Chain A
């Protein structure tokens, strides 16, 4: 528990401390000085980035939450064709790295993207611009729809279908049932999704880096990332101020979510008595519904993934280029020419497999401490593990870098994968613990109580009863953590160095250098790794959400 506190709190405290100095925390000459705060809070660019973040987050809520709610209603509560396929398919964007997705959009619908050129050859011009605020908002909203879907669909599953059927017998067509009955009944889940989407909007990094930056558009995270370039010199105290200003927004959101989640579980009492899930018969609306879902899937999954796949196997692309002439596998061969890229791929897989397993083991220890154990200490712990949710990966990575520089005994960890692993494990703590505690709660309490009354100590009960029973859940958590680690990119950005490359941070750094061919090949590798894990998870019957 002390370790958790240390891992969670020390990075934040260090950032807070740094933000109050007038120089790097390791420099002898640094003094406490509010100068950095004054400078940043007085900078127009900071406020513009702040405003952009707020606008993007708001736009994501306004577009993404209604769309996610509608998708959830259609997929969970109606008899649309192909439900079995659509249910897992809707979740795919969660497992895709945003930087990969962003890049995919650029090569598909960017100025010289495959689709753009196709459209131009037909209509004469491209009626959209992938760079800039509107497209950033729309794309961010579309790719964050699954988060709303996840919570709303879970809530909808617990609504008594007779409540919906009653409206139908009174004359309500399906879309009115959704608007008047189903969605109002899951209002807590909708509120939760809205606050989560807003939070994720503030933490957005890959999409604004790729889609906003070329148009001169900065959000808080990209402002932080670009700060050194903007100022000309690295300024620790300014970075700390910006980082902290992000957390100042996100931390209250996490508190709100915690409150809403409590409400949502209380709302579950609306469940009827032991009812089978009966989907609403849509009749002729089925095809309308299917079109909505498929259109979203095409836009959000097929377009970026297709773009990357295609880009990774062509030499170049432009008007009048015929596909068969430019087909090549050179980009993949090219990966081998760069030892750091190969190392990045190996590191990523090792981090996911080995690091992921160790992480799950650590989370399990924390999870078991919380498991059926109500004490004040646990309540504090419960609260503390939520804090990482408020820390964007970029900030988390930065904090760990500093932490390693700050504490002499940790300095050897600099440029080691252990540092990356520590940062990843902390950033994903809240997510991972939820997986673990969900698995632990599947164990009937009487099974544990039986062992206890037979004379087993609490330790033995856990070791011999609880853990063996949740084995499958642990494997599932491992797979999910693996996917999250492979997909993660922002946490590794500041920890990036020789020996600590991972695919995500490599793409970010290649993006700065403009290595499109290699980015495409790396992206495909990353998607392929995640796909294998996802397929394994589906085959094992791992629940992708709770």
Chain B
């Protein structure tokens, strides 16, 4: 399990490609036995950061420490090349060598380390069996399904037992239905093998479900770092709040006189007055943005709401059936406002409830 020994420390990494600055001082720490996810939109620099950690990309500034040894440091000029860092790296494209069999692919890292052929065979077989690929050793990569290829890529990076594995979008090339199963499988594998893993994903569900901690990347900086629940339930910025989950976002004005010591305040959106929680210093500005997760909005008319809830009467624009539920789209002062329910709603006006701690004002 996680202890507090840092095994990989990435400090203040800056990297630009030509004029575009991709990483602007990112710091990430991975502890022993921990799984950390780098989450961000496409183009946010996740792959670049992972490649920097792996020694495949040279950052402009910063420091990287693996275990107790510094592998990169601009101030002292240290730069250990990729082959000297002893990491496991799983590429998004898997990067399996088409001219080698599965056995040869997986055994390559051992061959480089001078392991004897017999021991190599045993260890390759062991890791293949562990990943459910026992019978496929003699096949070539193109003879495997996408899921099998992904596991071979993983096996290749794990077979020599590196202290850290770096995974770039490990599940993104899998079919949608396979991906959901693979989430649990990957988490279980990492935990039982006691790996320390840093993985990149643009899929929030993947990040939240697999990782112990999530680093949210936004335009080259770490926007927020924390355990999945705190990232989802306690976002510190508007970006963090809206990046995760399904949200209703609408502009509001804060009534300064209504501000309480517990940071609750009354905000206005057109004719509507809503009780919300001020999440940042942004509360000083007259106009702000309010965010509420869709699942926190209720439309049940029979519900007994407490005094800290705001009830609004909103006209229904549309009711959409999405399979697992109904999505109701209301009109909030010209903005669409969504809520989920178990039943279809009739046309007309309905009452929706917004709990005060669910309405975040930034």
Contact = CB atoms under 8 A, between A and B. Distances in A.
16 contacts: A160-B93, A163-B95, A163-B97, A165-B82, A166-B89, A166-B97, A167-B97, A168-B82, A168-B83, A170-B109, A170-B112, A171-B113, A184-B99, A185-B98, A270-B98, A281-B56
Interface residues of A, number: 23
A171 B112 contact: yes
A173 interface: yes
A168 B112 CA distance: 10
Contacts of B87: 169
B360 interface: no
A172 B95 contact: no
Interface in B80-113: 81-89, 91, 93, 95, 97-99, 108-109, 112-113
Nearest to B88: A169
Contact of A281 (B58, B89, B108): B58
Interface in A238-261: none
A468 interface: no
Contact of A169 (B54, B79, B98): B54
A168 B55 CA distance: 9
A183 to B, nearest CB: 10
Nearest to B166: A169
Nearest to B79: A283
A449 interface: no
A278 to B, nearest CB: 8
A176 B113 CA distance: 12
Nearest to A272: B93
B156 interface: yes
Given A165-B89, A281-B81, 14 more contacts: A162-B93, A166-B89, A166-B95, A167-B97, A169-B87, A170-B89, A170-B109, A170-B156, A171-B84, A171-B109, A180-B108, A185-B99, A270-B98, A281-B58
A325 interface: no
B160 interface: yes
Interface in A164-211: 165-173, 176, 180-181, 184-185, 187
Contacts of A376: none
A172 B91 CA distance: 16
Nearest to B82: A168
Given A168-B83, A171-B86, A281-B58, A160 B95 contact: yes
Nearest to B98: A270
A281 B56 CA distance: 7
Q: Which 10 A-B pairs have the closest CB atoms?
A: A169-B89, A170-B109, A162-B95, A166-B95, A168-B82, A171-B112, A283-B81, A171-B83, A162-B91, A184-B99
Contacts of B56: 165, 168-169, 281
The main secondary structure of chain A at its interface with chain B is helix
A113 to B, nearest CB: 43
A539 interface: no
Contacts of A165: 56, 82, 89, 91, 95
Contacts of A187: 99
B311 to A, nearest CB: 51
Interface of A: 160, 162-163, 165-173, 176, 180-181, 184-185, 187, 270, 272-273, 281, 283
Contacts of A160: 93, 95
A491 B319 CA distance: 83
A172 B93 contact: no
Contacts of B81: 168, 173, 281, 283
B269 to A, nearest CB: 44
A224 B92 CA distance: 59
Interface of B: 54-56, 58, 79, 81-89, 91, 93, 95, 97-99, 108-109, 112-113, 156-157, 160
B58 A172 contact: no
B83 to A, nearest CB: 5
A93 to B, nearest CB: 31
A353 B56 CA distance: 49
A273 B95 CA distance: 11
Contacts of B98: 185, 270
B79 to A, nearest CB: 7
Contact of B108 (A167, A173, A185): A167
A187 to B, nearest CB: 7
B163 to A, nearest CB: 13
Nearest to B17: A276
Nearest to B99: A184
A353 to B, nearest CB: 42
A158 to B, nearest CB: 12
A68 B177 CA distance: 48
Contacts of B58: 281
B58 to A, nearest CB: 7
B99 A172 contact: no
Contacts of A184: 99
B93 A185 contact: no
Nearest to B85: A169
A172 B83 contact: yes
B83 A166 contact: no
A180 B112 CA distance: 11
B264 to A, nearest CB: 50
A172 B82 CA distance: 9
Contacts of B93: 160, 162, 272-273
A97 to B, nearest CB: 39
Residue of B56, B93, B156 ringed by the most chain A CB atoms within 10 A? B56
Given A165-B56, A167-B108, A281 B99 contact: no
Contacts of B54: 169
Nearest to B54: A169
B99 A169 contact: no
Nearest to B142: A269
Contacts of B160: 170-171
Nearest to B87: A169
Nearest to A180: B108
Contacts of A273: 93
A201 B341 CA distance: 80
A3 B55 CA distance: 60
A163 B160 CA distance: 18
Given A163-B97, A166-B91, A281-B58, A172 B79 contact: no
B202 to A, nearest CB: 16
Contacts of B108: 167, 170, 172, 180
B91 A181 contact: no
Residue of A165, A166, A180 most packed against chain B (CB within 10 A):
A166
Nearest to A167: B108
Contacts of B79: 283
Contacts of B109: 170-171
Contacts of B86: 171
A174 to B, nearest CB: 8
A185 B99 CA distance: 7
A351 B225 CA distance: 72
A170 B83 CA distance: 6
Contacts of B113: 171
A272 B97 CA distance: 12
Contacts of B88: 169
A425 B303 CA distance: 92
A281 B57 CA distance: 8
Contacts of A281: 55-56, 58, 81-82
A160 B94 CA distance: 11
A53 to B, nearest CB: 34
Contacts of A170: 83, 89, 108-109, 112, 156-157, 160
B335 to A, nearest CB: 38
A172 B109 CA distance: 8
Contacts of B89: 165-166, 169-170
A161 to B, nearest CB: 9
